[in-house]
Amino acid sequence: MPAITNRFNYLFRSTKGLVLVAIAMISLVTAIWGTLSGPMVEWGVKDITVRLLGMRLVEAEREGRIIMLYHTIAMAVVAIEVYIITALVPMKGNERTRINGTITVGYITAMVFGLWFAYFGHDFVFHGLFLFGQSLVFFAGVMLAAALWPWKKEYRVQDPAYARGPGGIDLERAAFFTTAVATLGSTLFGAVPGSYFGNGFESFLAENVVREPHKSALQLAVIGHLHIMLTLIAVALALIVGRWLDFKGTLHQMAMPLLIAGTIVVTIGVWTVVPFEEIAHYIIYVGSVLVLLATLFLVIHGFRKLIHERLAEQGIQKASFWPGLSALLHDPLKFGALWQMVYMNFVVTFVGIFMAIRLDKVIRMWTAREERIVLTGHWHILSGIIATIILLYYADLIGLKGKARQWFGWLVILGSDLAFGAVTVFETKRLYVSESAQQPVVNWTMALADLGLAVVLVVLAVLMVWRLVDLFKPDGRWTKELAEAGPVAPVEEASP
Amino acid sequence: MKRAVALLACTVLLLCGCAAQAPVTPPPKIETGADPEAWARVPAGEFLMGPHNHKTLIDYDYEIMVTLATNAQYARYLNAALAAGKVKITDGKAVGYYPGERFHGYRHEKKIEAGDWLHVPLTDKELRLAFDGKAFTAKAGYENHPMTLVTWFGAKAYCEFYGWRLPTEAEWEKAARGADGRPFPWGNEIARNNANFYSSHDPLEKILGALGDTTPVGFYNGKTYDGYQTLDSPSPYGVYDMAGNVWQWTGDIYEGVHYRYLRGGSKADYGYDLRAWTHNSARPDYYSPNVGFRCVRQVSSKGGR
């Protein structure tokens, strides 16, 4: 019994265990549901999955199914961020336990019953449980926002190296708080119109309605909702990476106010899409620039720190370019998290800006399907980048060292960047190749994207199998991680 | 690590080498037995429209072409339209007059002014028509393939030349899925040999790669072509090619929108884009190797034209 109790405590009461469970859940969903689209359809794997698992896929319900799938994965990603935030940001132990417990029950309930409802026949009890699970995640968010309240005296900052507000308010904590509150509001921004107008039955994908000349409030809210939720997940992750790399100094003092202001402005901008679509985009641009600037400061700080720390380890006082570069690249996990933020600009931000400023002159000269490819590629890449940064963080969290750290880090970076680069070329192919001549470009880019994604997924699978095998060992790595968790120390197992 | 990088590079190069080449020879002439001159009657009545099956009434009978307009038909039309002065050749383009549309000034709306608009780009190497300066003919092997690289103006002009018109979106969808709410013309599920879509593995995909080429109209009629067994895939009203092969222009003009809507999916789209309610849109002067059309014509309620 202690064996089960200990493992349960590890998986559901320690940060490392909770993150592992959520990553494993997402991996499982990705492994199964990934066979239903893309090349897996071409290779006939979809048919096997559907037959084997007894999925009931009604053609008219494809959009609804996909929406539920996105939501279940998003809930787990949000849960991972919440676990990390509750571990990184000072708060009371009982607050941490309540938040983590609630969100865990919430995302697992939403994931299991949401996917069951969407893919295995429609039992509306399961749909209700899907909504209940999401409600729990929302409620956990409310508790998180309360726990992050930045004006609490005990969490004032004394160290001048960190950004402080009036009376020593921790501006980084305030940024976490702002992101949490903005996320809660943006959740309602999607949930309320979704329930009120559609009641969940007339689902549509945002990318399919972008050309509608008169969009309903529901359509605008849905488009806004998915954009802002992904943005806020990215903002929260940037804050997590900042804390991971001990972001401080002048850049920190400049970045935190920018991040807070940017988050507020971009969120209000997106909410404004419904009543004032014409001006909303300008507000969003302003907010986005502030957030991107703050992230740039984080990346500069991080790169400098990686170089200085490595050179100090090597005893080098002053280094030329190549030793400096070598020092920067020494730790692929920390470098990768920052690099992915830089790379995101090439494959997401710049593409998005190009789309916005050349919409009528270029993008809208193509068919709606071509525009849809750019849109879906755009946010799939952003989601993918977020996922890779989380994986790199997790690998560091569990103390991956030596060659394993190097192999894992570099394969995730190179594999994902190869895939995201190829997808970017694919989605923008109409800029440089006509429809009739596109086949070689399609073949190249798809092959490279599949190869890159396969590399990342194989590396992830190896990590997950390693952790699974470890769980079966009585003195596995998990026992140390559980011991480090503090309040939930392992229970002594009886000797055989 | 170096060996791993080298291995990765070799794999990438190998994969890139798999890229298919563009077609250099015309396809074999395939006789499907379909009659491109045939029409199918769609009776007045309600049907279920859109993904959410909204009951929609079309209170008149109409007829729709059983197959897509073919290259041979369009070549014949161009010759007649040239002779009648309805179409002219300018700078390597077949163009025709369009009276323009009311401009509402909506966001993203573009003006469609009166004047000559592109019907067919004659210099595009993908065009399956040949023009010797006097007359048009369909290129060998492509006679019974759907006419492509035709703009909305060109499709509309074709239909109107014969006293017909482009189908409205509702007419198109009803002709494609009947009244029972099915997503595909033939039923609820799509198999690879139901239609020509992305990676559907039709004979031309074996030659040209996953994107393939157009298949002759009425190809998916249950016949076997050189060992490739097709499923008979008409709509409930006996209309063929209502899913896949090429997108099809529809005739609706909506207020504040310069786009024209396309239905049916194409050889370059995944199966889900072949669902009858899926629509695509493009500027009316857009043309593509994946876009064609068919026409409808009115019939009296007593059954005569």
Question: For the residues of B157-177, what is the DSSP string, one character each?
Answer: HHHHHTT-BPPPHHHHHHHHH
Which residues, in sequence order, are CB contacts of A334 under 8 Å at separation 6+? A244, A245, A302, A306, A392, A396
Judged by CB atoms closer than 8 Å, whether chains meet at A213 and B11 is answered as: no
Size of chain B in residues: 305
Would you state the structure tokens that stand for residue A293, as one six-digit string?
């600037």
Give the one of B12, B184, B189 whose C-beta lies nearest to A451's C-beta: B12
Whether the per-residue pLDDT at B13 is higher than 50: the answer is no
Q: How far apart are CA A70 and CA A299, in angstroms?
A: 29
Judged by CB atoms closer than 8 Å, whether chains meet at B20 and A443 is answered as: yes
Q: How far apart are CA B177 and CA A439, in angstroms?
A: 31
Q: In the prediction, which pLDDT does A131 show?
A: 93
Query: What mean pLDDT comes out for the span B153-164?
Result: 98
- Chain A residues inside the 8 Å CB shell of B22: 436-437, 439-440
Give the one of B19, B188, B279 whose C-beta lies nearest to A444's C-beta: B19
H/E stretch holding A403 reads helix A402-427
Which of A270, A264, A266, A260 is CA-nearest to residue A289? A266
Number of continuous H segments (helices) and E segments (strands) in chain B: 5, 16
Q: How far apart are CA A102 and CA A152, in angstroms?
A: 23
In this structure, are residues A102 and A143 in contact, taking their beta carbons and an 8 Å threshold? yes
Chain B: residue whose CA lies nearest to A204: B51
Q: In the prediction, which pLDDT does B294 show?
A: 98
Chain B: residue whose CA lies nearest to A442: B19
**Signed CA dihedral, B239, B240, B242, B247: sign only:** negative
Q: In the prediction, which pLDDT does A437 show?
A: 81
Single-letter amino acid, residue B60? Y
Whether the per-residue pLDDT at A489 is higher than 50: the answer is no
Mean pLDDT is lowest, of A223-227, A355-359, A472-476, A485-489, for: A485-489
Judged by CB atoms closer than 8 Å, whether chains meet at A448 and B52 is answered as: no
Q: How far apart are CA A120 and CA B147, in angstroms?
A: 42
Size of chain A in residues: 496
Q: How far is CA A192 from CA A67, A133, A196, A207, in A?
A: 16, 16, 6, 20
Q: In the prediction, which pLDDT does A33 show?
A: 94
Which residues, in sequence order, are CB contacts of A319 under 8 Å at separation 6+? A307, A311, A327
From the candidates B53, B123, B280, which should be mutated to test the interface with A, based on the most A CB atoms within 10 A?
B280
Query: What mean pLDDT comes out for the span B233-254?
Result: 97
* A199 in reach of chain B (CB within 8 A): no
* A465 in reach of chain B (CB within 8 A): no
Query: What mean pLDDT comes out for the span B189-210?
Result: 83
Chain B: residue whose CA lies nearest to A410: B1
Minimal CA separation from B240 to chain A, in Å: 20
Q: How far apart are CA A439 and CA A441, in angstroms?
A: 5
Which residues, in sequence order, are CB contacts of A150 under 8 Å at separation 6+? A165, A169, A170, A171, A173, A174, A177
Q: How far apart are CA B2 and CA B11, in angstroms?
A: 14
DSSP type of residue B187: B
Judged by CB atoms closer than 8 Å, whether chains meet at B183 and A439 is answered as: no
From the candidates A358, A367, A430, which should be mutated to test the interface with B, based on the most B CB atoms within 10 A?
A367
**Can you state the angle between helices A15-33 and A2-13, rounded to 10 degrees?**
80
Q: How far apart are CA B118 and CA A416, in angstroms?
A: 43
Would you state the structure tokens that stand for residue A287, as one six-digit string?
């907010």
Minimal CA separation from A455 to chain B, in Å: 10
Q: A245-265 burial by CB neighbour count: b if 16+ within 10 A, else e? A: bebbbebbbebbbbbbbbbbb
Q: Report pLDDT digits (tens) over A220-239.
A: 998 999 999 999 999 999 99
Of all residues in chain B, the percent with pLDDT exceeding 90 is: 75
Mean pLDDT is lowest, of A168-172, A194-198, A469-473, B141-145, for: A194-198
Distance from first CA to last CA of chain A, Å, rounded? 12
In this structure, are residues B247 and B263 in contact, taking their beta carbons and an 8 Å threshold? yes
Whether the per-residue pLDDT at B181 is higher than 60: the answer is yes
Judged by CB atoms closer than 8 Å, whether chains meet at B109 and A368 is answered as: no
Predicted confidence band of residue B301 (pLDDT cuts 50, 70, 90): low
- Chain B residues inside the 8 Å CB shell of A42: 198-199, 210
From the candidates A42, A50, A59, which should be mutated to test the interface with B, based on the most B CB atoms within 10 A?
A59
Of all residues in chain B, the percent with pLDDT exceeding 70 is: 88
Q: Report pLDDT digits (tens) over B130-146.
A: 999 999 999 999 999 99
Give the one of A201, A366, A439 whose C-beta lies nearest to B22's C-beta: A439
Judged by CB atoms closer than 8 Å, whether chains meet at B108 and A368 is answered as: no
Q: A438-475 burial by CB neighbour count: b if 16+ within 10 A, else e? A: bbbbbbbbbbbbbbbbebbeebbeebbeebeebeeeee
Minimal CA separation from B162 to chain A, in Å: 28
Single-letter amino acid, residue B220? Y
Q: How far apart are CA A488 and CA A263, in angstroms?
A: 35
Judged by CB atoms closer than 8 Å, whether chains meet at B257 and A213 is answered as: yes
Which residues, in sequence order, are CB contacts of A57 under 8 Å at separation 6+? A50, A65, A119
Query: What mean pLDDT comes out for the span A74-87?
Result: 97
DSSP type of residue A486: S
Q: How far apart are CA B230 and CA B194, in angstroms?
A: 7
In this structure, are residues B243 and B265 in contact, taking their beta carbons and an 8 Å threshold? yes
Mean pLDDT of chain B, nearest integer: 89
Q: In the prediction, which pLDDT does B211 show?
A: 64
**Signed CA dihedral, A109, A111, A113, A114: sign only:** positive
Burial of B251 (C-beta count, 10 Å sphere; 0-12/13-18/19+): buried
Predicted TM-score (pTM) of this structure: 0.90
Q: Is A438 helix (H, G, I), strand (E, B) or coil?
A: coil
Query: What mean pLDDT comes out for the span B255-261?
Result: 93
* A404 in reach of chain B (CB within 8 A): no
Give the one of B12, B183, B199 whose C-beta lies nearest to A42's C-beta: B199
In this structure, are residues B283 and B110 in contact, taking their beta carbons and an 8 Å threshold? yes
More confident: A485 or A429 = A429
Judged by CB atoms closer than 8 Å, whether chains meet at A439 and B53 is answered as: no
- Chain A residues inside the 8 Å CB shell of B209: 439, 443
Residue B95 — φ and ψ, nearest 5°?
-125, 160
Give the one of A368, A435, A444 whose C-beta lies nearest to B288's C-beta: A435
Of all residues in chain A, the percent with pLDDT exceeding 70 is: 97
Which of A300, A90, A114, A263 is CA-nearest to residue A179? A263
- Kindly give the pairing relationship between strand B136-138 and strand B296-298: unpaired
Percent of chain A as helix, strand, coil, to the nearest 5: 80, 0, 20
- Chain B residues inside the 8 Å CB shell of A204: 51
Minimal CA separation from A365 to chain B, in Å: 7
